[in-house]
Structure formats: structure tokens, C-alpha cells
Amino acid sequence: MKKGLSNFFENYLTKNPLFINKKALQGNFTPENIPHRDEQIKQLANILAPALRLEKPSNVFCYGKSGTGKTCVTDYVTSQVYDLSKKKKIDLKICYLNCKLKKIADTEYRLIAELARNFNVEVPATGLPTEEVYKIFVKAIDTKGKKLLILILDEIDQLVSKVGDGVLYNLTRINSGLKNCELSIIGISNDLLFTDNLDPRIKSSLSEEELVFPPYNAIQLQDILRERSKIAFRANVVEEGVIQKCAAYAAREHGDARRALELLRVAGELAERSGSEIIQIRHIDGAEEKIEKDTVLDVVRTQPKQSQVTLYSILKVCNNGKQIFTGDVYDFYKNICKDVGLKPLTQRRISDIIAELDMFGIINARVVSKGRYGRTKEISIGIPSSTMPKIEETLQEGLGL
DNA sequence: CACCGTTCAGTTGAACTAAGCAACGGAATTCGG
DNA sequence: GAATTCCGTTGCTTAGTTCAACTGAACGGTGGA
């Protein structure tokens, strides 16, 4: 046994790896070359350029579906501006925050606290008035010497839908209280209609400039994939047609480049694992399935206990495939809670949790009226049945059932 | 048959509560002279 | 007598609860053709 394993590792090491730089296919990689986004880069550069003369750049708003390069372009441009400002000895600070991150920046208090932490000020997780945290933050940035601050708020729509637009109002208003520092905001949103239901005052001050990121089409995705695969893989390991297929698949999903890249990466990993010398088209099919499974599993695993119990109840009740409703789930949920030793939440809360699970896409919940038999959410499973056993297993493990 | 009021089973919004935390200020304790 | 520690109070955030208004189509009754 031992011998066999060492053979295996030896084998593994002597084999030529397919990847040379896997990072190039990972989410947070910023390439030196962003195809088909020249227009946006130019615009954003124009908008931010005044920063290099120590003038406050306009606030910007970036729209576009996920995986259309919003984060990538802003990261690319801002880091260039930053580098240049260093050379010119301009005091410029760039702050990136993803508002979607739970427990980090998903409320007004936490957002400002996190910003303050970026300036090396300790802020307690709770206990202070939000007003106070603003003061701490302002004090931290408004130190001696003229300086600029560019604040990038990613997935800003998530924040606003949760806590309202008062946060943005306060942020835009902060500038008037600053003596030495000026604050520009770059908002990034996946939701194209986001600003429609924003207070007009906030809307006008926040989106002085707007950048739209249209989805990539299949041809453009191919360019992106080629570019990146050149960095990521050894030469000639990608079979003809693989790139096309990846691109086609992602183009179907509103031109999400992130998905295309992930698909290619996972296909590469699968190929490598199966000992194949090249990445073939069949690996993409495997990758597609694996990604689906992994992301769902990951979401499930990182859910809080109560959500997990709720999901488990839904899976169990739904087992025989028929339509199910909130009441059924809640009854079952209460029983499970007893088994697990968890305090059952009220139905009100479960209703919200079901809505959250729906947002994640794990289940589909639709409010239906059943005439005089009342009104409820009709729930069905939103994932392929092949991944169900795995999810159930994960849940049981997580809940100690 | 078309129309209309009733009814049900949750949904949804808002106000409220408990748990945790930090800051503040006064009381109690310690300490050095 | 000053410095330090302790402790209770107040006020904050946040997750979850309680309360109550609201929802919307099927049901079943009514009247008209």
C-alpha cells in the first residue's frame, strides 16, 4: 500500500503538468490585457485622471451583469492610478469593499467600521452608535495634508436592498465634513435597474458618471479565454474546440466571463487528474457538472445552522417530488429542531429563510394564492437531482444527524 | 353562466425584545509617602 | 491624597419575535338569461 502510494506521487511529479500558472484562470486575477473593454477602461481612466492632479474625481457608477469585467476593469484602472500617484508623491488611497460579504460590510455600521479598519483604526463589532463610527472614520481619513480617497463599493445593490439608501446618502454627504481629504465613490452593481428606486438626490450625486458593461458575446469570450489560457497552460495542451465550447456555454449564461474561465480551469484540473495529456471537449462536460455541484455545496456548507435545518426539512419533505408549502416545511422543521437540539425559530423567520434560500437558487419559492385555501409559498428544489444526495449528506454531517 | 362577497394560510412590514458589547462615571481598593 | 480597578448604568447594534394588516384566487351562493 505504502509502496503504491509513493509510486503514485512519483508518477504525478514526473508527469508534465498542464498548468503553468493556474492563477490566471481564478476569479481575482487581473490580467494586463483586458480584451473588449477598451472603451470602459478609457472612460474610467478619464474619470479618475483628475486624481493625479489632486482633484476629486467624479463619483462613478458601473452597471453590468456578473462576469462582465466590472470589478476587473476598476481594479485594473485604479491600481494603475495608484501606482502613478505613488511616483508623483500624491497621497491617494484606494479602498475596495464587497458589500455582499456577510458580517463584514452588509450593514451601515459594519461597512463604515470596515472602512475605518482599513485605516488601521480598531472599531468594535458592536456597541457604538453608527454616528460615532462615522466620526472615527472621518477622523482617521481627515488627517494632515491634502489627500484623496477612492472608495470602491462592489455589489452595492445588495447593501441597499438590505439596509436602504441612507448609507449612500451619508457617504456622499461625508465630503462636506472633510477638510483635508476628498472622497470619491465607485459603485458597482449587478442590477441594471438598481438606481431606479434610489432617492433622486443620492442618484444624482452618486452617479455623476455612469459606465455600462454589456455582456460578452461568444466571440469575445473566446478572445478572453485564449488570452488567459496562454498564461495559464503549457502550449498546445488545449484541444481544438475546447475554447469555443467554453465560450458558447458561458455566452448562454448572459456572457459571464468568470464562469467561462472557471469552466476552463476546472476542465483543466479534471484533465490533469485523469492523466490526460491534453484538455479535451469531454472534460468540459465534466467540469460543468462539477462546478454546479461545488458551488451549491459550498453555499450549503456556509449557511448558518438554522438555514441548514430549514433546507434539510425542505429536501426531506420534498423527497417524493410533489409540491410543498411553507406549512409542511415548518412542521417538519420543528421536529428536526427537537432532534438536533436547536431552538426552533418562528414561522415568520423561516419564511424569510426560505426567501433567502430562494435567492441562492438552491430552491424555487413562489408565492401562490390557493384561493380560499389560503396563500403560501410553493417550494420546489432548484438543483439537479444528481447533486441532491450529496447535499443531504453534507447537511446531515453539518447538523450531526 | 357570470358575478361577487367570503375565506383561508401564509406573507409582509413595522414595532419590539433579548443578548452582547463599549463607554462613562462614580465607588471601592490599592499604593506610596 | 492620588492612581487604579471594579461595577452598575446607559445606550448602541443585531438577530429574531410579536403583532397585525394585507393578499388574491377558489369556493359557493345569487341572480339573470
pLDDT digit string, tens, across residues A235-277: 888 888 888 998 998 898 888 999 899 999 999 898 888 888 8
Is the distance from CB of A94 to CB of A152 less than 8 angstroms? Answer: yes
In this model, does residue A3 exceed pLDDT 80? Answer: no
pLDDT band at A179 (very low <50, low <70, confident <90, very high): confident
Tracing cell 431552538 back to the chain, one arrives at: A343
Q: How far is the CA of A62 from the C1' of B32 (A)?
A: 66
The CATH 1.10.8.60 domain(s) of chain A lie at 216-299
The pLDDT of residue A178 is above 90: no
Percent of chain A with pLDDT over 70: 98
C-alpha cell read off for A74: 476598476
Q: pTM of the entire structure?
A: 0.86
Supply the CATH classification number for the domain A216-299. Answer: 1.10.8.60
Q: Is the CB of A371 under 7 A from strand C?
A: yes
Q: What is the mean pLDDT of residues A114-119?
A: 91
Mark residues 98-137 of chain A whose C-beta is closer than 7 A to nucleic acid strand B: 124-128
% of chain A with per-residue pLDDT over 90:
47
Give yes or no for residue A1 having a pLDDT over 60: no
Q: Regarding predicted confidence, which is higher, A35 or A14?
A: A35
All three cell numbers of A16? 508534465
- The CATH architecture to which A38-212 belongs is 3-Layer(aba) Sandwich (3.40)
Q: ∠ CA(A128), CA(A131), CA(A137), 5° rounding?
A: 90
pLDDT at A332: 94
pLDDT band at A146 (very low <50, low <70, confident <90, very high): confident
* pLDDT value of residue A94: 93
| CATH 3.40.50.300-classified regions of chain A | 38-212
Q: What is the pLDDT of residue A18?
A: 77
The third-level CATH classification (topology) of the domain covering A303-399 is Arc Repressor Mutant, subunit A (1.10.10)
Q: Using the predicted structure, report yes or no on whether residue A15 has a pLDDT greater than 80.
A: no
CB A381 within 8 A of CB A290: no
Q: Which residue is nearest to nucleotide C15 (CA to C1')?
A: A349
Residue A147 pLDDT exceeds 90: no
Cβ-proximal residues to A50 (8 Å cutoff; 6+ apart), any chain:
A56, A57
Mean of the per-residue pLDDT values of chain A = 89
- For residues A12 and A114, the model is more confident at A114
Asked if residue A4 keeps its beta carbon closer than 7 A to nucleic acid strand B, the reply is no
d(CA A136, CA A129): 11
Q: Give the pLDDT confidence of A309-319 residue by residue, as tens digits.
A: 999 999 999 87
Distances (CA, A) of A245 to A224, A252, A285: 13, 11, 10
- pLDDT reported for residue A14: 72
Q: Any atom of strand C under 7 A from CB of A228?
A: no
Kindly report the bases of strand B lying within 7 A of a protein C-beta atom.
Answer: 6-14, 20-23
Within chain A, all domains assigned CATH 1.10.10.10 are found at: 303-399
pLDDT tens-digit readout, A58-112? 999 999 998 899 999 999 999 999 999 999 888 999 999 999 888 888 899 999 9
- Compute the average pLDDT of residues A343-354: 95
Per-residue pLDDT tens over the stretch A196-211: 778 888 888 888 899 9
Residues 323-342 of A with CB under 7 A from strand B: 325-328, 330
